[in-house]
Amino acid sequence: MKDLKEFSLSYYLDELKRREGKKAQEEVSAALSATTVSIEVLKAIKEAKDHKLPLTTLARKVNLKIAPCQEVCEHLRDEGLIEIEPDQETGNDWIKLSDKGMGLL
């Protein structure tokens, strides 16, 4: 009977390790996905005329909805890789590659 309890505890600990490993894998996968999207955004801006695009056009080019694209852009702005310039006439932000962003690509 004691062996069964030890086996159960061992199995339980292994299961916990496996679940933690899966969670870590999901976090790494999410981080890689975010990095890939960020690179796609930067490349799309670099390929654009004057290295700038309206947010809606950028979102279409990288196949994202506007809100997630805006989040990516805000993160890239915080990193100093892009500049976000509001357009008062259209209400659509212009996303421009910064010098640091140009140097990165």
In the block, residue with structure tokens 């979102």: 59
Task: Name the residue range of residue 42's domain.
Answer: 2-104
3-state secondary structure at position 38: helix
Average pLDDT on 16-31 reads 60
How confident is the model over 34-56, as pLDDT tens digits? Answer: 567 888 899 999 999 999 999 99
- How many domains does the chain divide into? 1
Q: Is the pLDDT of residue 97 over 70?
A: yes
Q: Is the pLDDT of residue 100 over 50?
A: yes
Q: Where are the beta strands (DSSP E) in the chain?
A: 52-54, 82-85, 94-97
Q: Which residues pair with 84 in a beta bridge?
A: 95
d(CA 14, CA 17): 5
Give the CATH number for residue 6.
Answer: 1.10.10.10
Average pLDDT on 4-26 reads 60
Measured in degrees and rounded to the nearest 5, phi and psi for residue 97 equal: -70, 130
